[in-house]
Structure 1
Amino acid sequence: MDTPSDTATSPASFRPPAPSPRQKPPSTLAMMRIVYRNPLELWGEPSYNEPWISITGGIGGPLLIANDPGLIRHVLVDNAKNYKMARVRQKILRPILRDGLLTAEGEVWRRSRKAMAPVFTPRHIAGFAGPMLRQAKAFAARYEDRIGGVTDVSRDMTMLTFDILAETLFSGEIAGDPDSFAHQVDRLFETMGRVDPLDLLGAPDWLPRITRILGRNSLAFFRDIVARTMEMRKEKLAREAAAPEDFLTLLLRAEGAEGLSRQEIEDNIITFIGAGHETTARALGWTFYCLANLPQERAEIEAEIDAVLAGEPDPVKWLDLMPRARAAFEEAMRLYPPAPSINREAMADDSFADLEIPRGTQVLVMPWTVHRHRKLWDDPEAYRPSRFHPENREKIGRFQYLPFGAGPRVCIGASFAMQEAMIAMAVLMSRYRFELLPETRPWPVQKLTTQPQGGLPMRVERR
């Protein structure tokens, strides 16, 4: 556990914006409005203080909010076979991702995970470092004509991480225009990425959801990109051209009776194109925003980056050589977890300690509240990268910090994301600073990821 002595030497701290815990539960109607608008604003004082909250008479049946690290381990690891993806989560994501890795279950999930695993081995991820560095440098060069100008850092990080994902996993062969892509990502998460009130009420699927109606065009845009991307690569493979052995080729070679269906391949491609880079983008944006509020911390990280870049040209090694930069990024993911909720449903009666978990219970593991829980963290609302400095890391329990989830369904791209983030931070922070403006007033909103409402308008300055 993070204790006061762990962080007493921190030179300063900053409390970035977040909803205040509710002092009393909202009415049912108010709760539905909040969940649609921004679920992060729903949670009350008990969610930040109690090990768990068990609700038996809520909408949709029994509900368990799990904050205790032991209980979280029980649900996500020790007895994971008893817990499937929760109904409400699937109703949000399946219309977008269908049988992609984030939403597939059972044998379909196992086949997809097995097919993708070779791409995310340490050897392959190390091989991505060079392309990541090239894309980060090319993206950074765009700022040269914008020094002193204003840019939306949140949108910029979406573009950067998309460029990196396209180059590494798809060898730069994704159909479509990247600028249109960024706009459609925002649109998709603004519409279909929300909880629809009808899903909370358990309404039948044939009733139209306004969120899905509004998101149809964006979803069709992504499906068209996927279809064209697959056809481009298939034509190259059919010509026996020197097609790259990347993520896309690996999936296409897995098509067949013993592997993946064409539909499953499409679903996994759209999962990675539509969401695979978004979590890293959000975490980078929040990191730059938080560091802009702590100039001393930022200056120390800049000095660390300068020293590493001056002495170590191999970007594979940067993650281990930049503990301060890594800590800043990890602390941003603590306060603004890219995936703020993990949802499960008990398939059979279960128990933990003196807690009974009936079959059908919806279990919410909320990194948003776990990462801000007052029994797990000292001064939890403060941004203090020193929590993650090497001398303090071992004091943080495995199941009190869940930026990439845990258990069998832990994020397959976690190592990829960490390497990508350190390379991006090193390149950008060695050249520029992102400074605050009066209009830099982000508000965290949950739309699949934890996004800054209104973006992150900041001024670009050369160091």
Structure 2
Amino acid sequence: MSDLKAKPVPVRVPLVTEPMGIWKSLQTSRRNVLAIIPDIATRQPMVSGKTGKRWHMVTDPGANKRILLENLENYPKSLVTKNLLRPAIGESLFIAEGAHWRWQRRAAAPAFSHRNVLNLAPTMTQAAQRSADRIRTAGPRAINFLDEMVSLTFDVISDVTFSGDSGFDRNAVHGAIDSYIAEAGKLSLFDILGLPDWVPRPGRMFSAGGVQQMKKVADQAIDARSQRDTKEVPDLLDLLLAGEDPETKRKMNTQELRDNLLTFIVAGHETTALTLAWSLYLLAFDPDAQEKARAEVQSVLSGNAATGDDVAKLPFVRQVVDEALRLYPPAGMVSRTALAKDELCDRLVLPGDTVILPIYALHRHHQLWDDPDGFRPDRWNGFKPDRYTYLPFGDGPRICIGASFATQEAVIVLATLLAQFRFKSVPGRNPDPVMIITLRPDGGVWLEAEPID
């Protein structure tokens, strides 16, 4: 037997080992939704139970494929998800179903083509360098990199969405988004029970003013932009204004544009910021991996900041991002509501059942991954998992439309920061993985950033 000690693992969520009733489940989920996942879900293909309503947690790749692709129409997003997000983003791509979703997806897809995403790379590079300048100015002290990455990615999404619009109040929109996420993320018992939207949600009412202000600012920006010519390099708003469904020739009106823009702004900066914050935590946790990533960056970059053209030449940095998304997927759990009778993993699913895809457990499943809780970016070297085993962006027709945008941004930012700083953990300041709407490092990601001369 080897005398070598087991390699330490990065922070993780303690999963449930004993059954919980509805009240304990509610209390636990208000603190951390992932904490209601039974540990057995990381070892079996499907776990079922009843907590007010029948539910099934599915981690079998074949069943995931049926839910997300083969029988998609039978598994719309759950009422809980819609109740939480509809007040802010309306019937946008994220929430819409059926024909209303399909035409919007077709109209928006060209905006996220490889060429258009690559054209937006300079904005990402500039924001990454501004972040590096802020970090350097902060001096030799611990910095909360969660806050810094949120600021950086909001700079990116607002620049690529409303570039050149001096009337766009970034602080107002950012504040309204943060306020709404903080309140909307607190699961209400009313949502668990599936009560309709018109039933007031305690604690969520006061944030409505911020949401209305956010919508007003976006509407004004859209109306102003529609009155002027598209720039030489169009931004996201230009591309969406020009977009139309090739089948019906329908274009988005101001309300539809606004709801989708707010969806992209909220999702586009929050999820990428989390990916970057967790990636930096992991690199500080594993200095050897950090040095390997830095060596790759230094061999590729011609200056201090990475560009869109550098992304394809940074495979190990991309592997770090992929591994961070495996260990800490921003959408750590998604839920669907079955419309009709179905069968998953030889088990009956009835109409009205909640079908949960616990992505956090799927990505740490003992039958699907070697060393599932370990940080091993090398595992991605030449390895491509079953696509329904790894779902950081979902899959099927509803796969995240901005996946390539987010990945490009994460690699550019990570490479730029690695080229200029060495990151060290702060003793006693480990983040706590907590999911309300997204999987956030509760307490922040506190690191020391040592400049590399």
Instruction: Give 1:138 deviation, angstroms.
Output: 2.6
The question of whether the paired residues in 1 share the 8 Å contact of 2:30 and 2:436 is answered with: no
Instruction: Give 1:98 deviation, angstroms.
Output: 1.1
Instruction: Give 1:92 deviation, angstroms.
Output: 1.2
C-alpha distance in 1 between matches for 2:224 and 2:104: 22
Question: Aligned in 2, Cα 1:140/1:305: closer, same or farther, shift over 3 Å?
Answer: same
C-alpha distance in 2 between matches for 1:349 and 1:174: 53
Counterpart of 2:104 in structure 1 is 112
C-alpha distance in 1 between matches for 2:241 and 2:307: 30
Instruction: Give 1:131 deviation, angstroms.
Output: 2.4
C-alpha distance in 2 between matches for 1:129 and 1:298: 24
Q: 2:418 aligns with which of 429, 442, 458?
A: 429
Counterpart of 2:36 in structure 1 is 42
SS at match of 1:215: helix
Question: Aligned in 2, Cα 1:329/1:242: closer, same or farther, shift over 3 Å?
Answer: closer
Question: Aligned in 2, Cα 1:200/1:241: closer, same or farther, shift over 3 Å?
Answer: closer
Q: 2:401 aligns with which of 412, 415, 419?
A: 412
Comparing 90-99 and 414-423, the one that deviates more: 90-99
C-alpha distance in 2 between matches for 1:402 and 1:22: 22
Q: Does 1:327 align with 2:281?
A: no
SS at match of 2:140: coil
Counterpart of 2:184 in structure 1 is 192
| Deviations 1:228-285, CA, capped at 9 Å, x for gaps | 32233134x2xx5758633212333458993223221111111112222211110100
The question of whether the paired residues in 2 share the 8 Å contact of 1:251 and 1:265 is answered with: yes
SS at match of 1:65: strand
SS at match of 2:444: coil
The question of whether the paired residues in 2 share the 8 Å contact of 1:13 and 1:384 is answered with: no
Structure 2 spans left out of the alignment, 5+ residues: none
Comparing 277-286 and 433-442, the one that deviates more: 433-442
SS at match of 1:85: coil
Q: 2:237 aligns with which of 239, 244, 248?
A: 248
C-alpha distance in 1 between matches for 2:437 and 2:427: 28
The question of whether the paired residues in 2 share the 8 Å contact of 1:328 and 1:385 is answered with: yes
The equivalences for 1:193-208 within 5 A come to 193-208=185-200
Comparing 13-22 and 282-291, the one that deviates more: 13-22
C-alpha distance in 2 between matches for 1:316 and 1:244: 15
The question of whether the paired residues in 2 share the 8 Å contact of 1:437 and 1:459 is answered with: yes
The equivalences for 1:26-175 within 5 A come to 26-55=20-49, 57-60=50-53, 62-173=54-165, 175=167
Question: Aligned in 2, Cα 1:351/1:161: closer, same or farther, shift over 3 Å?
Answer: same
C-alpha distance in 1 between matches for 2:311 and 2:8: 25
Comparing 139-148 and 251-260, the one that deviates more: 251-260
Question: Aligned in 2, Cα 1:374/1:128: closer, same or farther, shift over 3 Å?
Answer: same
| Deviations 1:412-459, CA, capped at 9 Å, x for gaps | 111111111111111111001332223522111112211111212222
Identity between Structure 1 and Structure 2 (%): 33
C-alpha distance in 2 between matches for 1:449 and 1:296: 29
Q: 2:256 aligns with which of 264, 287, 300?
A: 264
The question of whether the paired residues in 2 share the 8 Å contact of 1:14 and 1:384 is answered with: no
The question of whether the paired residues in 2 share the 8 Å contact of 1:318 and 1:422 is answered with: no
C-alpha distance in 1 between matches for 2:216 and 2:144: 27
Instruction: Give 1:31 deviation, angstroms.
Output: 0.7
C-alpha distance in 2 between matches for 1:303 and 1:72: 38
Comparing 203-212 and 94-103, the one that deviates more: 203-212
| Deviations 1:197-240, CA, capped at 9 Å, x for gaps | 211123343332124224324323422331232233134x2xx5
TM (norm. structure 2) is: 0.91
Comparing 280-289 and 154-163, the one that deviates more: 154-163
C-alpha distance in 1 between matches for 2:162 and 2:74: 36
Comparing 87-96 and 290-299, the one that deviates more: 87-96
Question: Aligned in 2, Cα 1:452/1:186: closer, same or farther, shift over 3 Å?
Answer: farther
C-alpha distance in 1 between matches for 2:304 and 2:379: 26
Question: Aligned in 2, Cα 1:139/1:180: closer, same or farther, shift over 3 Å?
Answer: farther
Query: What is the Cα-based RMSD across aligned positions, in Å?
Result: 2.6
Instruction: Give 1:295 deviation, angstroms.
Output: 0.9
C-alpha distance in 2 between matches for 1:125 and 1:161: 15
| Deviations 1:36-87, CA, capped at 9 Å, x for gaps | 22111111222221100123x4323x31211001110111112212221111
C-alpha distance in 2 between matches for 1:280 and 1:440: 22
Counterpart of 1:8 in structure 2 is none
Counterpart of 1:4 in structure 2 is none
Instruction: Give 1:175 deviation, angstroms.
Output: 4.8
Q: Does 1:438 align with 2:432?
A: no
Question: Aligned in 2, Cα 1:277/1:14: closer, same or farther, shift over 3 Å?
Answer: farther
Aligned amino acid, residue 84 of structure 1: P
| Deviations 1:181-208, CA, capped at 9 Å, x for gaps | 5544433222112321211123343332
Question: Aligned in 2, Cα 1:175/1:274: closer, same or farther, shift over 3 Å?
Answer: farther
C-alpha distance in 2 between matches for 1:347 and 1:68: 20
Comparing 125-134 and 274-283, the one that deviates more: 125-134
C-alpha distance in 2 between matches for 1:314 and 1:325: 12
Q: 1:453 aligns with which of 434, 442, 449?
A: 442
Aligned amino acid, residue 294 of structure 2: E
Counterpart of 1:6 in structure 2 is none
The question of whether the paired residues in 1 share the 8 Å contact of 2:330 and 2:438 is answered with: yes
Counterpart of 2:17 in structure 1 is 23
Aligned amino acid, residue 355 of structure 1: R
Q: Does 1:287 align with 2:276?
A: no
Question: Aligned in 2, Cα 1:407/1:131: closer, same or farther, shift over 3 Å?
Answer: same
Question: Aligned in 2, Cα 1:37/1:429: closer, same or farther, shift over 3 Å?
Answer: same
C-alpha distance in 2 between matches for 1:85 and 1:430: 41
Instruction: Give 1:112 deviation, angstroms.
Output: 1.5
SS at match of 2:369: coil
The question of whether the paired residues in 1 share the 8 Å contact of 2:46 and 2:345 is answered with: no
Question: Aligned in 2, Cα 1:301/1:253: closer, same or farther, shift over 3 Å?
Answer: closer
The question of whether the paired residues in 2 share the 8 Å contact of 1:255 and 1:265 is answered with: no
Counterpart of 2:360 in structure 1 is 368
Aligned amino acid, residue 51 of structure 2: G
